[in-house]
A and B are shown apart, each in its own frame.
Chain A
Amino acid sequence: AQKVTQAQTEISVVEKEDVTLDCVYETRDTTYYLFWYKQPPSGELVFLIRRNSFDEQNEISGRYSWNFQKSTSSFNFTITASQVVDSAVYFCALSNSGTYKYIFGTGTRLKVLA
């Protein structure tokens, strides 16, 4: 069975703090994809990153970075020097290469306080 766990329901940080959002996944597939999406209060999902199971390189994009570790089945997301505009719900998702279905985590609500 496939599953995505985001154990952190809600996180509050003060602006400029670093914050890491955890994502742990389960799958028996050897080929799969992992995603992170941001959902601001407007509701529209904003794509952040896609990573396939064969690419374990960490990625950095501005203040965002991702740590993919197959050994622990984790795909964690770090925001450096958080800003109020980062306040949103963040979803981690898993997809296999066949059906393109997403398995979503329950989301982590991030509140960045000024």
Chain B
Amino acid sequence: GAVVSQHPSWVICKSGTSVKIECRSLDFQATTMFWYRQFPKQSLMLMATSNEGSKATYEQGVEKDKFLINHASLTLSTLTVTSAHPEDSSFYICRGQGGSQETQYFGPGTRLLVL
């Protein structure tokens, strides 16, 4: 079946550095990519929605200059956490959506730890 992969699955970085997370749809075209953040013991919070070839739409309270989202192709979207700080430590999950309710899949997630 369709799979969405994320890379890396784990990343530890120093405060102030930037981290890029890749989300790839492996056998379907993800026209829309949703990016979520999940803090420990909390629910998933939508950060932004991106359509292929367009600028991402960010949810209220999410800094667009800090969380850069690129969705340049139908199979790849990236989330870059710029100048990461310890409070950005979280579990980041993408969800690829291919134009129907039946065609949408979550990635396995990326755990980010900022020291």
Residues of A within 8 A of B (CB): 33, 37, 42-45, 47, 50, 52, 91, 95, 97, 99-102, 104-107, 109
Contact = CB atoms under 8 A, between A and B. Distances in A.
Interface of B: 32, 34, 38, 41-44, 46, 49, 91, 93, 95, 97, 101-102, 104-106, 108-109, 111
A18 B110 CA distance: 33
Given A43-B111, A91-B44, A101-B49, A50 B106 contact: no
Contact of B93 (A33, A45, A101): A45
A47 B106 CA distance: 9
B43 A107 contact: yes
Contact of B101 (A42, A44, A52, A107): A52
Q: Which 5 A-B pairs have the closest CB atoms?
A: A44-B108, A45-B106, A43-B109, A104-B43, A106-B43
Contacts of B43: 91, 104-107
A55 B4 CA distance: 28
A99 B97 CA distance: 10
Given A44-B108, A52-B101, 11 more contacts: A43-B93, A44-B109, A45-B106, A91-B43, A97-B101, A100-B32, A100-B101, A100-B104, A102-B34, A104-B43, A109-B41
